[in-house]
Every structure is written in structure tokens, then in C-alpha cells.
Amino acid sequence: MYAAKWRIVKDALALVNCVFCGAEVRGTGCVVTQRMDMSEPSKENLEKMRKYVKGFAEKSGTTMHPNRAVTESVVKGLAMHVDELGKPLCPCNFYKDKAAEAKLRRWICACDEMQIYKYCHCLLFVREDGMPITEYLPEGHEGREIYGVITDPTPEKGRALKHKAAPAPSQTEE
């Protein structure tokens, strides 16, 4: 996972921030990251994130992805961000400035999309079959475009911020 992100950062022609440490990167890569061992989060934060994810899945009426590798990868990324930022910033996005993004809170797990639409783009919180819930997403949202309409098996749970949702298109429209 990190090798692929490193290659993207290393091969970038424009000035960007390193996806790991936030340092400015020019075409040759981040010197800071080259010296850091970014392979494992602290055991304490890894366990904290596992416990959080399990509890949130139960509370929201979702399950963790049935492919354990998906779940572990996302949980590990969350724990690494807790180590780095003190917050479980979603590891599935690229941020120009992770610290600034963490202050905005919209991508802190469980992110705004999960709280409003019950949609997890990381595929961490899904239905038992591993599919993301997309029925509440607004028309044109990438999740709805990719997966189509996938119904929520537990509509009575989750969506703490559903009052902020744009109206979902009717499933009966053609």
C-alpha cells in the first residue's frame, strides 16, 4: 500500500506534500520519509482503532468488510494517522495538508459521508456482503455511480447527521 503511494509521490513532477509526513516533495521524493519507518502504527493506537471500528459498525448497523485485508489496511491507516495527527483521519484520501484537514473534521472516521449518508468510501463499514450502502447518496455521487443503488439492511441505525443530507433521488425514477 505505501509503496504505491510513495511511487506516486516520488514520480510527481509538481511540488506536492508527502502523503506521510506533509513535507514538500519535488520530483525526487521526500527526504524525511526516506529516513522514517512508516510501516507500523503503535500497538496502542492500532488496538484503539480496532475497538472503535467494531463499536461503530455495531452502532451504525454495518459490518466491517468481510475481506480482513481491507479492514486491517484501513484500520492500520487510521492508527497511523492517530500516531501522526492525534486524529483518525481517513487514510483513503490524499490531503494537501493533513493537519489542516484534520482540523476541519470532515474526514475524521467516521467521516461526514458515513454520518450523513451511511456510505464508507474506504469500504470499511459495509453490508454483510461487502457492498457499501449507497441508497442515501445524492444523484451523481461517485459511490452511486460506481455501485448503483445498494439498499441499507438496517435503516433504523446509523446516519447521526442525516438531517444534513441532500435529498436522495427516488429509487422508482427512471
CB-based contact 89:81 (threshold 8 Å) = yes
Tell me whether residue 92 is one of the annotated catalytic residues.
yes
Q: State the catalytic residue, choosing from 21, 90, 92, 111.
A: 92
143-158 b/e with 16+ CB inside 10 Å = b?
bbeeeeebebeeeeeb
Cell of 94: 490524499
Chain centroid to Cα 109, Å, comes to 7
Q: Just list the catalytic residues.
A: 92
